[in-house]
């Protein structure tokens, strides 16, 4: 039975008080491709309403946990109460692989100033300085990053002054982040703050030159479940040198050396587009959006990189690698497609995966029937072309915008504007662009920003999808309703899912989940599925 998504939208929000209903109605849209090429406008990146039970995390999570944390030899010190550290300790599956056992790797540690009431009343800067000295003595890192949690901003501790003093005293790079949890409406603000810090304090500090012909940085790839390892290998086999990743499996020195690359490829636009933009302005390195989630998308991305370098030998190697990888992908795909064709998925996760993973589902013959980001902005939904018209609100103004100018010594335009125009005209290549999630979706599908708990339950009751993709906070509630839940943040204990090899893993895992009979034995304590569908259809 086909269900009208517009009716479902009304059903989802009818329980809310008037003001909230109005707000949510702007955050829930039904996809359509209009004649002028536009898609519907969605309200995004605004505060969550109290009590709604959001999926979101905080600004500190986005800065410390997402962007800086995966770099294994930057020592992270959290300035705040111990809970902020404890609950962020090893919760994200960003993997790392030091070259030798003697290489520094601080990922398994959790350093906190453990603020007490006394520090809240009398200030915590002294304690923070002591913590930095102690950490330096214990670990002798190259760099120390200090992260502010909520109370730090409230009492006015100056983490940047402490960082400056400690840098002078210890002779290593020490930098602070004003990434208090409340600083923005979600972890997205933390990404921006972290991007600014990486740009100001790290990139450009390591001048080591590289002889290789094709040099790239991979931006917005955090090596969850080993995705980054797969992609490192893929690029290496094509003959492409990866200077740095931001920031999966990265080190301080690789990030400091990133300005020696000739192209920035961006996986997760939401979390790292700021660094890409700033690097282009300061160093002259163009950036383009890629996607290595999905076999077809991976092939397309490799070809786009080859097109950028305009080198016949590189193109031939890329084609060879794709030809080596595809037979196994196609064999597995044919096998699972027979069982998965026509099954349905919902994806509510983060700020890029709700888009990227739709490709993998469609390769398996599965249909996305609802999707949304936790903290994406309008450009992640509608494409960057809407950016010029975007109004900056008070919450976004809270975050520093750094004025970037070309570096007098290090700026080197990798491509002239004419070359860029030529490349864009000849190929599918577009620089500085992200098309967004909605333009790549079918019409008449629900797109919901910052999905609430109530809406999750109603969606599941109404549609009974074959799989729901979200995170640990949602997982068990969903499964108690008899629907399998795949964590698309951590991959549960699975992965890697990137590249060709990753696609095979994903087909395998999802096939098992959607075809497992066990879910039909969960007896939910509410009405059976058929009644639910009839109710909504009759509205």
Shortest distance, position 371 Cβ to ligand CFM, whole Å? 12
Q: Are 77 and 135 in contact (CB under 8 A)?
A: yes
Closest contact distance (angstroms) between CB of 309 and ligand CFM is: 26
Q: What angle do CA 326, 332, 336 make, to 5 degrees?
A: 140
Choice between 349 and 459, CB closer to ligand CFM: 349
Q: Provide the minimum distance between the beta carbon of 302 and ligand CFM in the complex, in angstroms, as a whole number.
A: 20
Q: Measured between alpha carbons, how far is 277 from 404 in angstroms, rounded to an integer?
A: 9
Which residue, among 88, 140, 318, 284, has the nearest Cα to 214 in the 3D structure?
318
DSSP character string of 401-417: -------TTT---SS-H
Q: Smallest distance, Å, CB 243 to ligand CFM?
A: 20
- Kindly state the tokens that stand for 458: 């109603």
Cα separation of 480 and 521, whole Å? 11
Smaller CB distance to ligand CFM: residue 276 or 322?
276
188, 46 Cβ separation under 8 angstroms: no
CB 262, min distance to ligand CFM, A: 24
Instruction: Report the residue number whose CB is nearest to ligand CFM.
Output: 350
Q: In Å, what is the CA distance from 506 to each residue of 218, 229, 360, 417, 509?
A: 22, 16, 8, 40, 5
Chain-centre distance of CA 250, in angstroms? 16
Closest separation in Å from C-beta 488 to ligand CFM: 6
Distance (Å, rounded) from C-alpha 153 to C-alpha 151?
5
* Enzyme catalytic residues: 58, 61, 92, 191
Q: How far apart are CA 215 and CA 265, in angstroms?
A: 10
φ, ψ for residue 125 (rounded to 5)? Answer: -65, -40
Rounded Cα distance, 183 and 199, in Å: 20
| Residues forming the site for ligand CFM (CB under 6 A) | 62, 66, 92, 187, 220, 222, 224, 268, 270-271, 349-353, 489
**Shortest Cβ distance from residue 373 to ligand CFM (Å)?**
7
Provide DSSP, 173-239: EEEEE---GGGSSSHHHHHHHHHHHHHHHTTTS-------SSEEEEEEE--BTTHHHHHHHHHHHHT
């Amino acid at each position: 039975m086909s269900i009208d998504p517009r009716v479902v939208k009304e059903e989802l929000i009818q329980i809310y008080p008037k003001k909230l209903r109005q707000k949510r109605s702007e955050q829930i849209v039904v996809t359509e491709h209009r004649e002028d090429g536009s898609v519907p406008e969605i309200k995004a990146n605004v505060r969550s309403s109290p009590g709604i039970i959001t999926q979101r995390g905080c600004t500190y999570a986005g800065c410390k946990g997402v962007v800086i944390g995966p770099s294994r030899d930057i020592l992270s010190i959290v300035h705040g109460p111990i809970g902020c550290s404890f609950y962020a300790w090893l919760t994200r599956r960003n993997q790392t692989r030091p070259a030798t056992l003697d290489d520094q790797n601080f990922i398994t540690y959790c350093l906190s100033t453990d603020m007490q009431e006394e520090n809240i009343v009398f200030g915590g800067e002294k304690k923070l300085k002591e913590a930095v000295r102690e950490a330096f003595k214990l670990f002798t890192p190259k760099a120390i990053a200090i992260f502010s949690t909520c109370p730090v901003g409230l009492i006015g501790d100056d983490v940047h002054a402490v960082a400056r003093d400690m840098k002078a005293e210890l002779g290593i790079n020490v930098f602070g982040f004003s990434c208090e949890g409340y600083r923005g409406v979600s972890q997205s603000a933390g990404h921006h703050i972290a991007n600014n810090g990486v740009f100001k304090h790290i990139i450009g500090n390591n001048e080591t030159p590289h002889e290789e012909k094709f040099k790239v940085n991979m931006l917005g790839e955090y090596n969850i479940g080993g995705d980054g390892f797969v992609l490192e290998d893929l690029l290496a086999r094509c003959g492409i040198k990866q200077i740095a990743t931001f920031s999966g499996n990265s080190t301080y020195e690789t990030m400091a050396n990133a300005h020696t690359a000739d192209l920035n490829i961006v996986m997760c636009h939401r979390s790292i587009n700021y660094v890409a933009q700033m690097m282009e302005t300061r160093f002259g390195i163009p950036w383009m959006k890629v996607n290595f989630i999905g076999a077809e998308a991976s092939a397309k991305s490799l070809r786009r990189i080859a097109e950028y370098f305009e080198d016949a030998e590189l193109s031939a190697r890329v084609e060879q690698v794709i030809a080596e990888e595809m037979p196994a992908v196609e064999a597995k795909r044919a096998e699972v497609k027979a069982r998965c064709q026509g099954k349905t998925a919902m994806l509510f996760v983060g700020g890029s995966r709700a888009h990227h993973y739709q490709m993998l589902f469609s390769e398996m013959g599965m249909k996305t029937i609802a999707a949304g980001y936790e903290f994406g902005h309008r450009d992640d939904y509608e494409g960057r072309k809407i950016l010029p018209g975007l109004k900056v609100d008070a919450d976004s103004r809270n975050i520093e915008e750094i004025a970037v100018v070309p570096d007098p010594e290090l700026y080197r335009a990798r491509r002239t504007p004419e070359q860029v125009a030529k490349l864009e005209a000849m190929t599918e290549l577009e620089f500085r662009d992200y098309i967004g999630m909605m333009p790549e979706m079918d019409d008449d599908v629900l797109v919901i920003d910052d999905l609430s708990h109530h809406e999750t339950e109603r969606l599941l009751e109404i549609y009974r999808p074959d799989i729901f993709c979200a995170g640990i906070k949602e997982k068990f509630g969903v499964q108690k309703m008899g629907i399998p839940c795949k964590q698309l943040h951590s991959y549960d204990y699975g992965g890697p899912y990137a590249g060709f090899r990753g696609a095979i893993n994903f087909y395998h895992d999802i096939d098992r989940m959607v075809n497992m009979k066990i879910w039909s034995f969960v007896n939910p304590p509410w009405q059976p599925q058929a009644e639910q569908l009839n109710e909504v259809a009759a509205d």
